[in-house]
Amino acid sequence: MDPKGAELPAYTAGAHIDIRTPAGQLRQYSLCGPADDRSVYRICVRRDEASRGGSRSLHNDLRVRTKLDIGGPRNLFSMPEAKRYILFSAGIGITPVIAMARTLSAAEADFELHHFERSRSRVAFLNELTAGPLKTAATLYLGEEGESFRETVPPCLISSDPDAAVIACGPNGFLDLLVLRLADAGWSPHQFHSERFRPEALKSADVANEKDAFQIRLASSGQSFTVGSEETIANVLLANGITIDLSCEHGMCGACLTRVLEGEPDHRDIVLSAAEKATGDQMTICCSRSRSPVLVLDI
């Protein structure tokens, strides 16, 4: 809620905001409230003791009427155009997905939602998923009832549908298994759209490339800088007085997406799709590196 009662910036399903927690961490959370209500932003935060501290701070330190610094909504997980939608989520990955389900339901679109959780007591938005407009489209799978994703294959995954888009959010293991099942059933990679909680582990080739220094050149000024093995492009630019947008610094939010004019990026983010990474014309400069000796950036 805006302290002065003003309307908040509009957003679409799949968007997130940056939040500075009371403990000082900058974190990203999906907006999961009704998109047409611009009086408030609603997020859902599960307390995670294994996290880097953001969820603990919001649960432990936040009080009613506490003022928080937040960034405006950004949507790097928007719904593509399709005739039919198949939504998948696991755990707290339901937060962007339920916003999409509401949008599709309001538009009377053809969609189905498959949500996986450990137990019924942990299901966020349980009432909304089991009653009202989403009831007929949503299916719950509970691990405590023997319905884990490894044991259960929803019928929609058995064969591919060229008219459908598959949209998913959840832990890396869940998404990795979903990718394998889609590939086995003949789905095109371009039909799959996902948002991950954390960047994927580096492959051995990427670990080797981590040791290589490279040059970045700024198209606007011609300035060149060396990015060493222990540095990031963003940090090198900031150290040299270059102003850039920077938020999560883990390749998860998209604030630092920058156009690449020459060179081959070594993508380390979870923002860009596989197709966008293959194009190679943009990159997250907070964590991604270079496969070529020089990168020319549109800065």
pLDDT tens column, 94-125:
999 999 999 999 999 999 999 999 999 999 99
* Residues near 92 by beta carbon (within 8 Å), at least 6 away in sequence: 44, 45, 46, 124
Alpha helices in the chain (DSSP H): 54-61, 94-106, 126-130, 172-184, 204-209, 233-239, 274-279
Burial 235-253 (b: 16+ CB within 10 A, else e): bbbeeeebebebbbbbbbb
User: What are the residue ranges of helices labelled H in 110-192?
Assistant: 126-130, 172-184
Could you tell me the pLDDT band of residue 198, with boundaries at 50, 70 and 90?
low
d(CA 196, CA 171): 6
Give the pLDDT confidence score for residue 293 in this predicted structure: 95
Bigger pLDDT: 100 or 252? 100
Backbone angles phi, psi at 90, to 5 degrees: -140, 135
Cα 272 to Cα 88: distance, rounded to the nearest angstrom: 19
Whether residue 18 has pLDDT greater than 50: yes
* Domains located in the chain, CATH noted: 1-75 (2.40.30.10), 84-196 (3.40.50.80), 204-297 (3.10.20.30)
* pLDDT of the residue at 201: 54
pLDDT-derived band at 209 (thresholds 50, 70, 90) equals low
Tens-place pLDDT, residues 121-176: 999 999 999 988 899 999 999 999 999 898 888 999 999 999 999 999 998 889 99
